[in-house]
Structures are given as C-alpha cells and as structure tokens.
Chains A and B, each alone.
Chain A
C-alpha cells in the first residue's frame, strides 16, 4: 500500500466527564493544524464506556470525525486492550498521523501502539509542521510529511521525521497548543468501532483504582515557578539564615501574584536542597518539588531561580521556561547564563522588596 493512501490526522483523546482532558483538547488542536495544512480531516479517537456526550464534545472542539469504541470493558484504562483496539482501528482506517499526549498515560500506551504498528514514535513534541524531506539513503524526497519538532539535549530543538512508515506517530507535550473554542454548531462524522475483547489482554488485573485529588503539587501545571536552592541558607554577607524565611517570602509572593494576575504558582527546589533534609523545611520542601534531571522537567511562563547556582542537572529541567529570572549574590553563578533577568544581589533583600512591590507598596 502506498504512503499516499494513508489519510487524516488522528488524536488519541482521553475522556474527562462528558468532555476531554485539556491536553487532549490541545492535541486535537494540533491535529486540526496539521489536517488543515494537508487538506484532510482531524479525527478524535476515544476509547471508553458511555461516550455519547463525549464524542459530541470532541466534534464541538474541532474534530471533523470521531473514531471511537464504547464498551464496558474499555471503561478503565488498561494498556493491553487499549493497545489492541487502537492498533485495529489504525490498521483498518490507515491514518496519516496519530497524535498522543506526552503525559504518563500517553507514555504507557503510545510506545506499544507504535511498535505494534511497525512505525516510529517521536515523543515530547512542542510543535508540528508539514514539510518535504529528502532522505539520502533511499534517494527519495518524501512530500508533505510531518516534521515533529521536539527539544533535544536542553539547548536545541530537533525535527524528527517518519518518512517511510505510517501512521506518523507523535506525542505532544501539554501546554504547547491552545484548545479550540467549543462550537456546539459544528457537525462531524461519528464512526463507532466494535472491537472484540481478547482474553490474553486482561492478564494484568486492576486491583484498585483511585483518582487523586488535584491539590497535589503541580509543577507542570504552574504558570510561574519560584525555585529555591542552597543559597537560601545564607544571606548576601554569608550569615546563616533560617531557610524557612525564604520559603515563607516566596509563598507570599506567589499568593500576591495569584491574586493580582490570576497566575497559578508553585514552589520548586533543587535536588541539593531537597536531599539536605533540613529540619526547618520538613514537610515543605519535598521531592515532589524537585526540578531537574532526576525530577520534573518544567516550562512555565515565568521561572524564578532563588539562590540556585545552576548545575547542569538543574538547568536541563527548567531551560525551556519562557522567562527566566535568577536571583543570586554570586555574580558568577552559572544560572545567570540562562537568565533573561539577572538580579545579582542578596535574595534576603530582593525577596522582601518584590513582595512589597507586588503588594502595591
């Protein structure tokens, strides 16, 4: 079968109540963007049980069609049956591209789907484009293929192509596409798929399942992150300070920013600070807050590094933040290499000043 026979851009969407999760709406918008470029359909792919309202909402949010399976045995997410159903759908309907959200569920599911479909998977993309690509080893120019744009080694972006295989599979990082506005007047095609369960797929048993409260520390969902490093243990003159002071100041600053601008804030920390397990910060600075190589990778609108020297391991976790502010009294701290705004001063002077400015004083 020739590559040209593969049509439409699919987005695997996860249901939330009667609609879809926000990252799912984002990848639907990404599918819309690519579909419009190649003059094909954007298709939402949904698995679950009791999906009547959900599929309508997918159309209202920009899908031209919904391919779905609505079965009691698909009510809860399970990697193996979900993999099989998605592969059967894709083998039958032959999409040009297949997008997933680059979150934990997407990372559990999409690699298996890609391997079984014998195609590539470009993960963590921040944008998509459609391009021609010349591939030397086969001496062929592949027309109108997906350029999957992903960050590469912290300071670069790379374009990944899947020229010889279909569907072209990509996972998209949350926060890079704006969901399309809901338009209830939109009409689209609903294609219900009726899969048969295969016993072997249910050899993993769900013993318990719970949905966590949203109140947990959500670094990835924050608009602004203020992160603390070992520098908070001393002031600019080198006198020891209670790091709790910095934590409190930063909490107050984030609260003011939330009130003034409606921005969601969160406190981050370096690995060094977390693993020094200071009594003063017990229960406040926990590993859930770790930004960096072995912790979270974040890309908020604003990232403020307080008392952080800027080890490579930390930098790779925050380098993609849109605006970076660094506060450090060490003028040569490597963190300043990344900073859009450099405050080379004592954090115990800067933070109170910031607080009072934000409070309107």
Chain B
C-alpha cells in the first residue's frame, strides 16, 4: 500500500519570523519538522507493519531547508534539532515539490500542489506495472522487473530478491506455477490495489495553525481523480483492516465522539493525542510481501512541469487569500511588579514641580520615570505607593467583594 505522509518545515522559533509584505521568507529561517507531523509518521509506521507497502514523505518548500529534515526522516536519530523523537524506523522515500512558482501559496494553492504530487506518485507506480505488463513475453521482463524493484517501484509480492520470499508473482510465473493469464491477472490486481492508498497529515502546523491543508488536499485530489476521497480530521485512534480495504477511526469533534469506517483511498489528519496500536504479529509476514525496497537517502525534487501543475494555480498567484500587512500586538502595555512597582494611590491633578508640569495621573497608574526626589515626596504624601498583591487582585477581579461564601 502506498502510504503518503504530508510533512511541512516550520520555523524553529515560531516567534521570530521574518515577513516581507506578509509573505513568509522561509529560506531565511531554519525550518524544523512540524511537530504534529510526528503523529502522522507514527500512524504510517503502524499501517506499514499491518499491511505493508511504502512510506512516502511528501512536502512542498525550498529544497535547502526541507532536505535536511527529510534526510533525518530516513534514519531518525535519538537527538535531533530538526525532528522530534519518534519511535519510527524511517521513511522509504521522500519527494519534495519545489519550484519558485510554488512560493507564497495559501492552503488552497498548497493543497492543489500536493494533490498534483500525489497524482504523480500514483501515476509513476501505475506506469511501472504497465511497463511490466508490456514486457510479458519478451526477454526483458525480468531485467525490467529487477530495475523497477530496486528503484522501489514494485513490491516483493511482484518480484523479490529476498531469500525468504521465493514465491513472488514473477517467480511463480518463471517456475510455471502460473501461466501468462495468471501473471496478467496478478499484475492487474496489484494495479487496482494501488488505488487503495492512504494519505496522512498532522492535524495542523505550528506556523499557519490552520489545519486546512489535509482536508483540502483530499478534496483537490478527488477532483483530479473524478471520485470522492474522504477526509477525517483529528483522528485519535486508528486501525486498518488487514485486507487494506478500510480503516476504522475514532475522533472527537468537540463533544461528539465518532467511530467511523473509512474506505481507502482516504486522508486522515492525526490528533496530538493519537497513539498507534500495536499490530498483531500474524500480519507481519504477509505485510512484508507488500513492502518495497526502501530508497534511503533519495530525495526526489519535482517541479511544476513534472507534476503537470497548472501554473496559474500555484503559489502566490494561485492563492485566493492574500495576507495583508501584519502588526504587532501582545506586548504587555506596562508591567506591574508586585512589591516593587510604584503606582498612584489616588487620582492626582496636573501639578508643577521644579519648574515642570506633571500629570494628571489616575489611581492605579504606574508612576512613570519621575525624579527620585519627586517620587520620595509623593510617597511621603501618600500619593504613590508600592503595588501589592491585593492591588493586583483588585484590578483582576474588580474588587475583593465576596459574592457568596459557604461557611
């Protein structure tokens, strides 16, 4: 089964982000794996253990920033700046959609692009089987199979060099256990099965925080393929039927808890609290037949032409939404330090002191940077005093009046 995991590089320090006219300048920041994507990778590993297949990591972004993250996903380390700790043996293949025209995309344009990438992945795998189908009867059949196999484009069940798998489809054909019709039938079944893929994503990213891209990618891909591809967001538990036909998921939408049967192909986004189930060992052997030779350390970079994308639907120009100028908020106006800050104890009219005018001030205002002498005088007069815990409670709760109290 093809298991596509959508990942994203997000700024390592979410609060230090450069924007120029609202567009994220990712190439100027260090990017790390979106932490929510770790759950999707764990789910992918679970699926591979039960039904086999290959885990393909798909992303869109600038190559120099995303490649280091992808490299670590092939063989996750104990400690990494780029990838959180995941119990996960690594992905099989990485594909990066990268093209200047893809820059500045909103979730609509991103989803369109990712869906085109997934469409291409499916196409490549279908074409691999079709090459085999065409080669039936020719001398090249096994050479072609071998190449496709080593490039991770056909699984062990079709052709295998593993000593433990001696009954691949082609091995059985070669030994006469099945005839040409049997071989064609087996290849056709496998090709049909390619349509039962699954796409996994984190429930949101820590930079955009929208959570749109998962469901929108399913919608976009469905439109391209002419069928409805379901999306289920916020999956907390997931089990796949060993047939690979459907998954059963549990998710919460606020207070509504739904247990859903979702046929493949489908897209799931994984909730932060998702924990993979432990697969039953009975599936492990069978699952191996569906595995492909991992393409470790191979990152394929695909541009807009390669995935057949309509350039008008890419990047900034393909995005319905436009990010206007941002403005800073969230800095506290003024900080009051309990037991230290001086505040006015009462309203004080405008007054003169030492030839200068000050005020007016309101009770509770922080006493600004006034001459030390003046502050001392005002403290002596009881105009200003030190801000206390009681004052804070008064400001927070509008007085310490007790509404009701049980004795």
Contacts and interface: CB of A to CB of B under 8 A. Distances in A.
B212 interface: yes
B35 A294 contact: yes
Contacts of B210: 111, 121, 123-124
Contacts of B393: 354, 357-358
A293 B206 contact: yes
A236 interface: no
B252 A104 contact: yes
B322 to A, nearest CB: 5
B22 interface: yes
Contacts of B338: 341-345
A207 interface: yes
Contact of B211 (A111, A208, A323): A111
Interface string B389-407: 1101100110011111110
Nearest to A170: B321
Interface stretch (A60-68, A188-196, A237-245, A259-267): A259-267
B80 to A, nearest CB: 16
Contacts of B228: 80, 200-201, 203
A204 B54 CA distance: 24
Interface stretch (B125-133, B156-164, B230-238, B280-288): B230-238
B230 A210 contact: no
A332 to B, nearest CB: 13
A211 interface: yes
B349 interface: no
A279 interface: no
A121 B272 contact: no
Contacts of B405: 259-260, 360
A339 B332 CA distance: 7
A57 to B, nearest CB: 19
- Chain A interface extent, by class: 35 or more
B277 interface: no
A342 B253 contact: no
A157 B329 contact: yes
B273 A287 contact: yes
Q: Which of A83, A122, A214 has the most CB of B within 10 A?
A: A122
A341 B256 contact: no
Contacts, number: 256
Nearest to A208: B259
A105 B329 contact: no
Q: Is the interface of A mostly helix, strand, loop or mixed?
A: mixed
Given A112-B218, A294-B36, A206 B259 contact: yes
A158 B14 CA distance: 15
A156 B329 contact: yes
Contacts of A10: none
A263 to B, nearest CB: 8
16 contacts: A107-B204, A108-B234, A111-B210, A112-B216, A116-B219, A121-B108, A156-B328, A156-B330, A159-B324, A165-B320, A203-B228, A207-B248, A209-B257, A312-B13, A354-B389, A360-B405
Interface of A: 77, 79-80, 83, 103-105, 107-108, 110-112, 114-116, 118-124, 133, 135, 137, 147, 151-165, 200-201, 203-214, 257, 259-263, 287, 293-295, 297, 302, 312, 315-316, 319-320, 323-325, 336, 338-345, 350, 353-354, 357-358, 360
Interface of B: 11, 13-15, 17, 22, 35-36, 106-108, 111, 204, 206-207, 209-216, 218-220, 223, 227-228, 230-234, 248, 252-263, 266, 272-273, 316-317, 319-340, 389-390, 392-393, 396-397, 400-406
Given A77-B256, A204-B261, 13 more contacts: A104-B253, A111-B214, A120-B108, A120-B321, A161-B321, A162-B320, A203-B228, A209-B257, A260-B397, A312-B14, A323-B396, A340-B332, A360-B405
